[in-house]
Chains A and B, each alone.
Chain A
Amino acid sequence: MTDVFMDNKYIGTVKNAKDFVDQVVSERRMGRVSDSVNIAYSQEEEKVLIETSRGRSTRPLIVVKEGKPLLTEKHIQQLEKKEISWSDLLKQGVIEYLDATEEENALVAFTEEDVTSDHTHMEISSLDLLGLITTMVPFGNYNQGVRLNQGAKNQKQAVGFYAANFLVRMDMDVSVLHYPHYPIVQSVAHSVSDYDKHPSGQNVIVAVLTYKGYNMDDAIIINKGSVDRGLGRSTYFRPVVSEELRYSGGLMDEVTMPDKEVRGYRSEHEYRFLEEDGIIYPEAGVKEGDVVIGKVSPPRFLSSMDEYSLASDSRRESSMALKHGEKGIVDFVTLTENEEGNKLVQVRLREQRIPEIGDKFTSRHGQKGVISLVVPEEDVPFTSTGLKPDILFNPHGIPTRMTVSHMMELLAGKTGSLTGRYIDATMFESEEESDIRKDLLEMGFRDDGSETMYNGITGEKYDVRIFVGNMYYLKLKHMVANKLHSRARGPIQLLTRQPTEGRAKEGGLRLGEMEKDTFVAHGASLTLKERFDSDQVVVPVCEKSGLVGYYDARKNNKPMSPVYGEDSEMSDIEVSYAFKLLLDEFKSLGIYPKIKLKSKF
């Protein structure tokens, strides 16, 4: 007797579990049970599991019976002639969907040659092993698994033509690549997913060589001539959004040009782009600090007196301005209402991004790198035909990572561009390397893809032949322009008086706990003190009570004791503001932090 569970609820027992499961499966194949029902027999737990719930992921497989897949040549011919469709195959029980539970009972053959009499199913395609994006790695079956994974991850971050209606969209933080290409070396996933409708890279000429040491450690070198001609150029969009919020008491924000009486008024200069409605006009070039949407809000705390006199001077300024380091051109302005019926103003800023030192590029094989040098075109190494590569890739990136597919694409890309055809590099079923080499040889090139090259600066011939070819390169969304940051002095936090954190707030770079330890380890006591001087304050301390006092402005800034007033000896001490704050917190806990002063010398 075996227990039967349906969607993890006990429903009864069966005598012969195996027969029962077989029967349900064959009924399903005949169409008498829904094809989304899955059943499995767990021998260890001695129970039958039936799954009917939604939200399970299932995948289609070809049914194998007596060592023969049910999908025959005839089916394929009928499919090609469009006489039958996918659902017909399902109805005939040639294909069925398995979920994770039922897969435990199945033995799935990877290819038709692998099928034995023990197998119950066969993969429809060997590509089912991988996801859609992983399938787009050309020649990926030549690679180590990790690299394949990284190649797929990199492709997700690529800048491309992400949506055809990008001009009327208000996406947060997106880029659009300027001249996107359809890859020469491609896989079936590219045609299946209409990649030509939304490509995200460019076919570039890559030479595998070093150049003055600038492309060490994964750095890449890019040809300035190519950049000038538009390689890797993109537009970056960033929206600025403001909403007229409603507050209690019928008060609400107002998008308008703020009055001079408004609390927190910036300068006239910063409002100069605003039109009468308080919103900036398109094609205005804005820099940090410039107001994009002018807005005033009611005061934050309403005392009963204020309610009667809602003069503009009690209203506060809450405009949207560009933060530190931001700049752009106003591209597009929309005025709408949101779900709550509040007025919503959206302004999209546009900025052209030309590849520069620090921008990240990658091939499709997990070989990412950062531009370390933009070489003037006249200094770029050239081949005997005068061809100058767009990108110089460091050969040291290959041996340790073993990305064979990277080199295969280089070779295939070269053949493809010379013969004027697309190369099928679908994993497991790609064109043969020997055929690609043969074609290259026929075009009058060396079949290993190498060419004689000349030093771009001196014109001397290189002693070795250089591997040059064509590759699909992707620009990744991580661009230095969004990350570059430095600070000497700048804003501080209100509470701790320490520097703010993060690029957007022009923050400082933290000298953390472990960094502190290095100073201590070197015995650099005073250097350490100086590094932590950012929140240094001088406070008066009462020698009688040991508490931090204050300077009384009414009495000519005389230091006063919080307990004894003027009747105490006050001494100034230098401490970090954070420590003063800590003492205040002790006091709020009811702990009396008493400072005993003593001469240092």
Chain B
Amino acid sequence: MVDVKQALKEYEDRLPSSILKEVEEHLSGNISKDKLKKIMQAIEDEYDSSQAVPGECVGIVSAESIGEPGTQMTLNTFHFAGVAEMNVTTGLPRLIEVLDGRKTISTEMMNIFLVKPYNEGKDIKRVAESLKELTMNDFLKEVVVNISEANLKVVLDKNKIELLKISHSTITDSLKKNVKGFSFKLEKDDSITVTQSGKDKDIIQLYKLKEKLKNVFIHGVKGITQVLPVKKDNEYMIVTAGSNLKEVLKQDFVDGKRTYTNNIHEIEKEFGIEAARQLIINELMKVIEEQGLNVDIRHIMIVADAMCMSGKIMGINRYGIVKEKPSVLARASFETPIRHVINAGLTGESDPLNSVIENVMLNQPVPIGTGLPGLIVRTKPK
């Protein structure tokens, strides 16, 4: 009889803790020392054999394993998130977008989970609408420029105001907050008079403001263009088009632990690079599985690791990970050679020739597989 926990301590530096934990869960307390040793030996052997061999070219194997099924993908498929009008880019375009690490993605989307009373359907419509971005354009009926008095008369659409349940004073307040250099006054007939603060009255400025006014943010969360409350697995949640993780997380009805956006850069900014890495893996796997293809997750993990290894997200292109390659020749062999060669010439870069492409260029054995090991020869006999 041994104390399993104590006995497993000795394997801590050889096996990952998750495996040890699993072993501990499965073994009962009354097990002989010999038996435990045998089991642990088998686990260790299995663990070692499932590791990649030194010199194994995992990167290219990953590239081929993702690239080949990629050729079978149907182009431009859209996935409908429940209801029409909410279609999200998937398929090859999405795959390329994620791998490129693009800042602006073609369809931003959020799944907002809610905390207790709201996820049971309480006020779901109102909660959802409160997130939607509303600009002045949603309320405007007309804007009249009064040249003689040098002011603007903004007439609001009564029907829309009633529909969206925003009061006139809220609009005036947010106008005051968001537009500098002008003063706003709510008149008795519910129109807003805009005059230039300060002494100089400039009609041209007023005309410019007339156009600018349309895009002034009034209410909701910036960037969220559409909201859609849906019921999923006995729980209410909100699907949105457009994404603004930072602001959404500030709302008290949002369950921040589960809320999700498909914008990798936003996740990176809010939760850090490890979260971004996980999102890349999730997004890529989602696309691949949607297409009915089968790619091992470890290939995707390598790609995600490569994209995140520097602490910021880098795309798989000449602006991203290729730029970070230490070898001049390797960089020059990909897409824009002249810039790299000239910069290397200016700064006197040196290339130690220790990766694959350079050695192919020089026709030397590549340091991969059989080309990796070297021989150490003892020149003098002992």
Contacts and interface: CB of A to CB of B under 8 A. Distances in A.
Contacts of B366: 520, 525, 528-529
A574 B361 contact: no
A417 B134 CA distance: 78
Nearest to B377: A601
A590 B345 contact: yes
A523 B363 contact: no
Contacts, number: 78
B56 A520 contact: no
A529 B364 contact: yes
Contact of B350 (A518, A522, A532, A596): A596
Interface string B360-371: 111111111111
B60 interface: yes
Interface in A331-352: none
B96 interface: no
B63 A517 contact: yes
Contact of A520 (B60, B361, B363, B374): B60
B375 interface: yes
Give the interface size class of chain A: 20 to 34
Interface string A566-600: 00000000111011001000100111100010000
Contacts of B350: 596
B369 A591 contact: no
A349 to B, nearest CB: 41
Contacts of B64: 517-518, 521
Contacts of B369: 520, 522-525
A394 to B, nearest CB: 25
A521 B57 contact: yes
A87 to B, nearest CB: 50
A517 to B, nearest CB: 5
Contacts of A582: 361
A303 B63 CA distance: 57
A586 to B, nearest CB: 7
Contacts of A589: 341-342, 345
A526 B370 contact: yes
B57 A523 contact: yes
A523 B368 contact: yes
Interface residues of B, number: 29
B55 A523 contact: yes
A533 interface: yes
B297 interface: no
Contact of B365 (A517, A525, A591, A601): A525
A36 interface: no
Interface in A523-549: 523-526, 528-529, 532-533, 535-536
Given A524-B370, A586-B341, A601-B375, A529 B365 contact: yes
Nearest to A527: B370
A516 interface: yes
Interface string B329-343: 000000000000110
Nearest to B375: A601
Interface string A151-167: 00000000000000000
A528 B57 CA distance: 14
A523 B64 CA distance: 14
B356 interface: yes
A518 B367 CA distance: 15
Give the residue among A525, A528, A535 with the most B Cβ atoms within 10 A. A525
B39 interface: no
Nearest to A593: B345
A525 B370 contact: yes
Contacts of B363: 529, 532-533, 535-536, 574-576, 579
Contacts of A579: 361-363
A544 to B, nearest CB: 17
B309 interface: no
A520 B357 CA distance: 10
Nearest to B62: A521
B230 to A, nearest CB: 37
B368 A578 contact: no
A283 B238 CA distance: 85
Contacts of B342: 589, 591
B63, B341, B377 interface centre (most CB from chain A within 10 Å): B341
B371 A525 contact: yes
Contacts of A596: 350
B19 interface: no
B372 to A, nearest CB: 8
B275 interface: no
Nearest to A521: B60
Contacts of A591: 341-342, 344-345
Which interface residue of B60, B64, B375 has the most chain A CB atoms within 10 A? B60
A572 to B, nearest CB: 14
B293 interface: no
A529 B365 CA distance: 6
B115 interface: no
A532 B63 contact: no
A528 B345 CA distance: 30
Given A525-B365, A529-B365, A576-B362, A520 B356 contact: yes
Contact of B368 (A525, A576, A592, A601): A525
9 contacts: A520-B356, A521-B57, A521-B61, A523-B55, A525-B372, A526-B365, A526-B370, A529-B371, A591-B341
Given A520-B60, A526-B371, A579-B363, 20 more contacts: A517-B60, A521-B57, A521-B60, A523-B56, A523-B369, A524-B370, A525-B366, A525-B368, A528-B365, A529-B364, A535-B363, A536-B363, A574-B363, A576-B363, A579-B362, A589-B345, A591-B345, A596-B350, A601-B374, A601-B375
The list of the 3 closest CB pairs from A to B, nearest first, reads A523-B369, A525-B371, A591-B345
Interface of B: 55-57, 60-61, 63-64, 341-342, 344-345, 350, 356, 360-372, 374-375, 377
